[in-house]
Structure 1
Amino acid sequence: MKTFTQSISILLVFLLIFTLRGTAQLRPNTFLMNADLLMQNKFKINAGNEQCLSALKVLLSATAPSLIRTPYSVVNKSITPPSGDKHDYISLAPYWWPDPNSATGLPYIRKDGQSNPEASNIKDNTYIRDLCKDIRLLGLSYYFTDDEKYASKAAELLKVFFLNSATRMNPNLKYAQLIRGDSRVYGTGTVDTEQLPELIDGVQLLIGSSSWTSENQEALQEWFNQYLNWLMDSEAGKLASASPNNIGTFYNLQIVSYALFTGNKALAKSIIELQTYNRLDGQFKSNGEQIYELARTNSWTYCNKNLKGWFNLASCAENVGINLWNYTSASGKSLKNAFQWMMPYVTRTKVWDFDQIGDFKIEYFTPVARTASAIYKDLNVQAILSESHARFVSGSYMELLTSRYY
């Protein structure tokens, strides 16, 4: 009877495969999001699963503003970079302020965790962050619905920002996070593109669309290949690589993600083997504490941000056969320990007594917790968090379509 039931289940799966109504690829080649899970949830949507349909409704509602978005372009800024070329990206370091003890206010001084509104007047960083969000939403909406309007809009946004000669961004961050009055080169600006790996996943979901051609894909891969080379060869990139904190984490994530996207799996694997293992050993204590992020004025925020970066790195590492999820260094450092160290503060069995000048938001922890619940089944994450955080198990949130938990 069991064999018969299994055979029927397999038959139904094949029927679903051949009755999907669109042209989106069945199993997407994503690097952060789990492709098998995406495919499974697409099957469920086509089979009328209520929870997945509810989640899809929320996803499409969230994507609606992206459909009417005016394309972003770095050439639209009012300020001109030192190069004289508006195609070059530029931003100001957000935590740097005029020196009250200087007649000119220069050079600026650092106030960690306190954002200077002046930095928000230059929109290039806002454009990149918003673009990454839009492409991820549009890619997911296209994948789950096969509705070409989502792919068409994503293609428009991508072409304007990366490909069209009149509007494209040059593939470098030479002028990212400038500090007024200080001409030295820093590696911190590389974090301005920390969300591009999520954009890449969105792009991967467009494959199969008539709006995003193979020529478009190859052109975008070439842009990222040039940017990858700049990150590895520039002084700013080398400084980011040497950074011991989250800057280094997201540098590694970007290098590995861009290498995978451009087909250079050998580079992705070598970066993990030569840099990432050592970085993990240097960032964490054996009990899971994050040495550098706990020193920040917004330590809860940065611990969650850095751990999410590590989880994304672990997802990318799967593509080259490396299991970072369960790696433990010779000194006992591991991602599992890092996750476990955070848990008591979420369940409120411990009080966060480190600096946090911003709001202490449990939601920062949710993305990694959803993934951890599937990766580290022995920790019983779902049961523990569902007792105190109903949203973790809610069936009406779009992240359920992409989370390993669901």
Structure 2
Amino acid sequence: MVSNPMNKFSRRRFCAVSVAAALSSQHLAWAATKQSPFAMVSAADHDRVLRLADHWLPEAPQTITSFHSSRSPAGPHDFFSEADYFWPNPANPAGPYKEIDGKSNPDNFQDHRRAMIRLSQAMPALTAGYVLTKRKDYAHAAAAHLLAWFVTPATRMKPNLEYSQGVRNGGPTGRSYGIIDTLHLVEVARAAGFLRKFFTPAEWADLRSWFRDYLLWMKTSEKGMRERDATNNHAICWALQAAEFAHLDGDEDTRAEVRERFETVQLPMQMAPNGSFPRELARTKPYGYSIFNFDAAAALCWSLGQQEMVRFSLPDGRGMCKAAEFLEPYLADKDKWPYAHDVQHWESWPVRSPGLLFCGVACGREEYLALWRKLDPDPTDPEIIRNYPIRQPVLWV
């Protein structure tokens, strides 16, 4: 067992808690007249959840073993994908592909990722349907997806991402950046916690073991550690995965480590004083990446400590409430966006932001919640779906 770093109450932590306490008092006054987050989300999403649950109810599980690529260096149980932004290099057509940031190559193999995204749409929707109605057919259908992906020997995925986002024609067969592909398991892990009674003890132990093994790979492999140490959205997404996978397995030591890292490394490194994320603004899709990192960071904070953690801020005020303050005007009206437009998919943003929900509740901002209700919760653009891993907020509140 490792020591809990949160037991160290530094001056920085004291100042941060003082700021959070001030915000908390404001929030409590606001929240006294409001319905609970669960009641609010349930009311907003009830019909949508049942529509999606009914859609997925007759659909059978589909895992990566249903798809094969001749370019995969691995076996049928190994997740394999190719890097989105890599294209043939005109200067060396037979050599490794060349990166063009922000422009996705439609010819790359993505069937395993699509299967995982399908899982992330179907299984949480069925679970949300069960949460709202207690219909056991929804729960059994959701459990069947988990068994197929993580337990059944013939169809399960191996608990690593050694072959994710490789580069064709002699490039690396897998890269640390590929770990972001399993961001689509975050809500799956969250949803699994609602279904424990629908598994046998052995099945539940095997399910937890898969996420435990995958988390260990994330924490100790060369690719995993490199992704953890990234300086942009990749590190935030690593942390969100680690937090939720550890939550499913009851690993509070890892969750404490993730929280300490967010507070002392990621937040100070990534957020500017105005609440923006400069590393995302520097990309060729600054609008989409700013939204994506905001949503992932807000979800991370909610996972680690719900409202208290979302309200956490550094002594200079940087935190998720500041991030929401920066981004919300551009979610409300992207014509006001003062930075470059995204090179692709500009027209498909924004969609319903989970960050708006978490920050609206935690920071006491009704206007964020009103905007959250207005935005589209079910985008159809595959690029947006790829960057939209939290679709059933009723499972989070």
Calculate the TM-score normalised by the size of structure 2.
0.79
Tell me the equivalent position of 1:88. 78
Q: 1:147 to 1:332 in 2, by over 3 A?
A: closer
Q: Does 1:381 align with 2:371?
A: no
Tell me the equivalent position of 1:196. 185
Q: Does 1:250 align with 2:237?
A: yes
Tell me the equivalent position of 1:307. 294
- Count of residue pairs brought into register by the alignment: 346
Of residues 289-298 and 345-354 in structure 1, the stretch that sits farther from structure 2 once superposed is 345-354
Tell me the equivalent position of 1:391. 374
Conservation of the 8 A alpha-carbon contact between 1:307 and 1:368: yes
RMSD of the alignment, in Å?
2.8
Tell me the equivalent position of 2:96. 107
Q: Spell out the pairing of 1:248-327 with structure 2 (5 A cutoff).
A: 248-318=235-305, 323-327=308-312
Hey, what's the Cα distance between the residues in 2 that align with 1:122 and 1:380?
39
Deviation at 1:80, TM superposition (A): 5.3
Q: Give the counterpart letter for 1:179 in structure 2.
A: V
**1:70-101 CA-partner distances (Å, limit 9, x unpaired):** 32121222225755421111000011000012
Hey, what's the Cα distance between the residues in 2 that align with 1:66 and 1:346?
30
Q: Spell out the pairing of 1:30-109 with structure 2 (5 A cutoff).
A: 37-38=37-38, 40=39, 52=43, 55-79=45-69, 84-104=74-94, 106-109=95-98
Tell me the equivalent position of 1:21. none
Match of 2:342 among 356, 366, 388: 356
Hey, what's the Cα distance between the residues in 2 that align with 1:248 and 1:393?
27
Hey, what's the Cα distance between the residues in 1 that align with 2:373 and 2:77?
46
Q: Which segments of 5 or more consecutive residues in structure 2 lack a partner in the other structure?
A: 1-35, 378-390
Q: Does 1:168 align with 2:151?
A: no
**1:209-261 CA-partner distances (Å, limit 9, x unpaired):** 4xx33432221110001101111111110110110000000011111111111
Q: Give the counterpart letter for 1:271 in structure 2.
A: V
Calculate the TM-score normalised by the size of structure 1.
0.78
Conservation of the 8 A alpha-carbon contact between 2:128 and 2:394: no
Hey, what's the Cα distance between the residues in 1 that align with 2:119 and 2:174?
27
Q: 1:324 to 1:55 in 2, by over 3 A?
A: closer
Deviation at 1:271, TM superposition (A): 2.2
Tell me the equivalent position of 2:12. none
Q: Give the counterpart letter for 2:194 in structure 1.
A: L
- SS of the aligned residue for 1:117 comes to coil
Match of 1:129 among 88, 93, 117: 117
Q: Does 1:336 align with 2:321?
A: yes
Q: Give the counterpart letter for 1:70 in structure 2.
A: A
Conservation of the 8 A alpha-carbon contact between 2:352 and 2:373: no
Hey, what's the Cα distance between the residues in 1 that align with 2:271 and 2:339?
18
Hey, what's the Cα distance between the residues in 1 that align with 2:220 and 2:373?
47
- Identity percentage of aligned residues: 23
Hey, what's the Cα distance between the residues in 2 that align with 1:236 and 1:173?
9
Deviation at 1:331, TM superposition (A): 4.7
Conservation of the 8 A alpha-carbon contact between 1:259 and 1:268: yes
Hey, what's the Cα distance between the residues in 2 that align with 1:233 and 1:175?
16
Deviation at 1:380, TM superposition (A): 4.3
Hey, what's the Cα distance between the residues in 2 that align with 1:328 and 1:352?
25
- SS of the aligned residue for 1:329 comes to coil
Deviation at 1:276, TM superposition (A): 4.7
Greater C-alpha radius of gyration: 1
Q: Which segments of 5 or more consecutive residues in structure 1 lack a partner in the other structure?
A: 1-35, 46-51
Q: Does 1:187 align with 2:176?
A: yes
- SS of the aligned residue for 1:240 comes to helix
- SS of the aligned residue for 1:228 comes to helix
Q: 1:82 to 1:347 in 2, by over 3 A?
A: closer
Hey, what's the Cα distance between the residues in 2 that align with 1:390 and 1:217?
35
Conservation of the 8 A alpha-carbon contact between 1:369 and 1:381: no
Deviation at 1:293, TM superposition (A): 0.7
- SS of the aligned residue for 1:176 comes to strand
